[in-house]
Amino acid sequence: MEDVYRLYKSMKIIHNYINGKLSKPKNSNYIRVFNPSTGKAYAKCPDSSFTDLNNAIASANNAFILWSKKSNEDRSEILLKIAHELHKNREKFALAETIDNGKPLNDSRNIDIERSINNLKFFASAIINNSSESHSLPGNVINYTLRDPLGIVACITPWNYPLHLLTWKISPALMMGNCVIAKPSEVTPMTAYLFSKLCIKAGLPKGVLNIIYGAGNNIGDEIVKHPKIKAISFTGGTKTGKTISKTASSLLKKVSLELGGKNPIIIFDDCNYDEMLNTTVRSSFGNQGQICLCGERIFIQESIYNKFKKDFVKETKKLKIGNPLKSDTNQGAIVSKEHYTKVLAYFDRARESGAKFITGGKSKSVKGTCSKGWFIEPSIIENLDRNSDCYKEEAFGPVTSLHKFKNKEEVIAMANETKYGLSASIWTSDLSTAHQIAKDIEFGIVWVNAWNLRDLRTPFGGMKDSGLGREGGNESMRFFSETKNVCINYD
Ligand code: NDP
């Protein structure tokens, strides 16, 4: 597997995908792209300018007339062809995601690329099975509701699940008849680039999807402001989400925001202990802790606190950290040097506030090819002051904190004492406890005896500072359409 690094030895150049072609940025500016597990730059992606954006908008504008008039079946067929191409090339994509993001190759295969294929297939099927609503009134009156495409929409995505989140947004947008300007994170642009090649191969008409790369606060901001863009679907940090929301709302644009979280995992002493323990290791450290759904606060009923602490530390210590290309690696590298520094600074602040690391709490040195990579030990904190910054802010790294609780009332209050409201997991075998807590906690996604168990039809998204609107199934299809009600009196 080490040979793979040779494959990526020469500098790769990423191109924008505009008007059905791969093109260089007009200003010839590029941003370096790093392999997080080696710490070396291996590619460069465009730092696009307003001219590139305008070219993409012009091509999307031309494409819209034909694309929006195509039948649902025709649009669906093209998306299925892209899914088929992705499936054929899945190993190449998994490898590219790992090199670009630092995550274990097994995760890229079984989560990122697998889910990307599923996203494409799901929305290709959803559009065929989509039904319109009609409401009749007494007498001869009937309403029917049309959902028309919006026009040109933007999909802005983060670095933690680069291709998965891109396909999650562009699929419903395209199936509803819109043309798309997508901007992946400049930190992890590679699989989006490879994906644009698949779109060309699968025959996606030119201009229907345009992918442009560049710094968020530059070209990202231009995308949000552009008068031709009717809606913005964004996944990323809360701070960026607020900036986007401010700009977009002043222009009366539709916005969907999927933002950060500080999610609680609530463990009662009557739960299925072994299953809970296995899942809690994943919910804490999966994807190096860089999942918006990761549980950064674990609340444990006091009767099993000591047992849980001992077992959780033991299981965490078994995780293998290192070269993400090795098949037995559980945890790869942190996505960028900047993010690595941010997570370690969070550790320092936690210590300063009096917290104690019962395992981890530092970077991890890895020998061989990955000696210059950005690795952090999976870390567990105890005695984290609930008034401290670290308790309140998302770390978005391989770290979680343990807290004792006595009863339902106390844990509901503790779970809710955050500005975020994305997801929560409740572990109990008592159905009434599960129902009551699920009802009283302020989180958009609640799992009982599970974590990150996904059904693409369900509403996905957060309350409070975790976002605005929901994605998934009909929620996504509605977001990417303009609703028109027609009321007929046929008396
Ligand atoms: P950022 O908010 O930094 O960036 C997300 C995307 O927005 C990137 O493409 C970025 O570009 C772009 N961007 C940055 N500034 C602007 C701007 N002013 N206008 C338009 N676009 C901009 O998030 P991260 O990439 O750091 O992702 C991590 C965050 O994402 C975490 O907080 C995590 O919780 C959240 N997240 C939420 C999910 C959810 O479903 N709720 C799922 C996954 C992640 P560039 O990178 O090029 O600067």
Task: State yes or no: pLDDT of 467 exceeds 90.
Answer: yes
**pLDDT recorded at residue 5:** 62
Does 185 sit in the ligand 1 pocket, CB within 6 Å? yes
**pLDDT recorded at residue 10:** 81
**In terms of DSSP bridges, do strands 379-382 and 399-405 run parallel, antiparallel, or are they unpaired?**
parallel
- Substitution candidate for ligand 1 out of 101, 165, 185 with most atoms within 8 A of CB: 185
Does 160 sit in the ligand 1 pocket, CB within 6 Å? yes
- Whether 302 is catalytic is no
Would you tell me how many other CB atoms lie within 10 Å of the CB of residue 362? 11
pLDDT, tens digit, 9 for 90 and up, residues 241-276 = 999 999 999 999 999 999 999 999 999 999 999 999
Catalytic residue among 97, 186, 222, 258: 258
Question: CA angle at residue 265 from 260 to 269, to 5 degrees?
Answer: 175
Mean pLDDT of 185-202: 98
Cα-to-centroid distance, 426 and ligand 1 (Å): 28
Mean pLDDT of 360-382: 97
- Residue 168 to residue 267: CA distance in whole angstroms: 31
Closest ligand 1 atom, residue 261 Cα: 34
- Substitution candidate for ligand 1 out of 235, 239, 247, 257 with most atoms within 8 A of CB: 235
At position 450, the amino acid (one-letter code) is: A
pLDDT, tens digit, 9 for 90 and up, residues 98-108 = 999 999 999 99
Closest ligand 1 atom, residue 31 Cα: 47
Residue of minimum CA distance from atom 11 in ligand 1? 216
pLDDT, tens digit, 9 for 90 and up, residues 269-309 = 999 999 999 999 999 999 999 999 999 999 999 999 999 99
By CB neighbour count within 10 A (0-12 exposed, 13-18 middle, 19+ buried), where does 140 fall? exposed
For 304, which DSSP code? G
Six token digits for residue 242:
């607020």
Does 260 sit in the ligand 1 pocket, CB within 6 Å? yes
- Residue 75 to residue 125: CA distance in whole angstroms: 10
The alpha carbon torsion through 180, 186, 192, 194 (nearest 10 deg) reads 140
Mean pLDDT of 461-478: 98
Q: Which of 379, 423, 372, 419 is nearest to 397 (CA)?
A: 379
3-state secondary structure at position 283 = helix
Does 444 sit in the ligand 1 pocket, CB within 6 Å? no
Does 187 sit in the ligand 1 pocket, CB within 6 Å? yes
Does 265 sit in the ligand 1 pocket, CB within 6 Å? no
**pLDDT recorded at residue 7:** 59
Are 202 and 210 a contacting pair, CB within 8 Å? no
Are 174 and 209 a contacting pair, CB within 8 Å? yes
Would you tell me how many other CB atoms lie within 10 Å of the CB of residue 435? 12
Place of tokens 């969070």: 346
Mean pLDDT of 398-418: 98
Task: State yes or no: pLDDT of 2 exceeds 60.
Answer: no
Domains of the chain: 2-259+466-486 (3.40.605.10), 263-456 (3.40.309.10)
Sign (positive or negative) of CA dihedral 391, 396, 400, 405: positive
Task: State yes or no: pLDDT of 9 exceeds 90.
Answer: no
Task: State yes or no: pLDDT of 4 exceeds 80.
Answer: no
**pLDDT recorded at residue 413:** 98
- Whether 390 is catalytic is no
Half-sphere exposure of 108 (CA within 13 A, CB side): 26
The alpha carbon of residue 272 and the mean position of all alpha carbons in its chain are separated, in whole angstroms, by 29
Cα-to-centroid distance, 168 and ligand 1 (Å): 15
Catalytic residue among 155, 292, 294, 370: 292
At position 198, the amino acid (one-letter code) is: L
Q: What percent of the chain has pLDDT over 90?
A: 97
Task: State yes or no: pLDDT of 1 exceeds 60.
Answer: no
**pLDDT recorded at residue 491:** 83
pLDDT, tens digit, 9 for 90 and up, residues 324-364 = 999 999 999 999 999 999 999 999 999 999 999 999 999 99
* pLDDT, averaged across the chain: 97
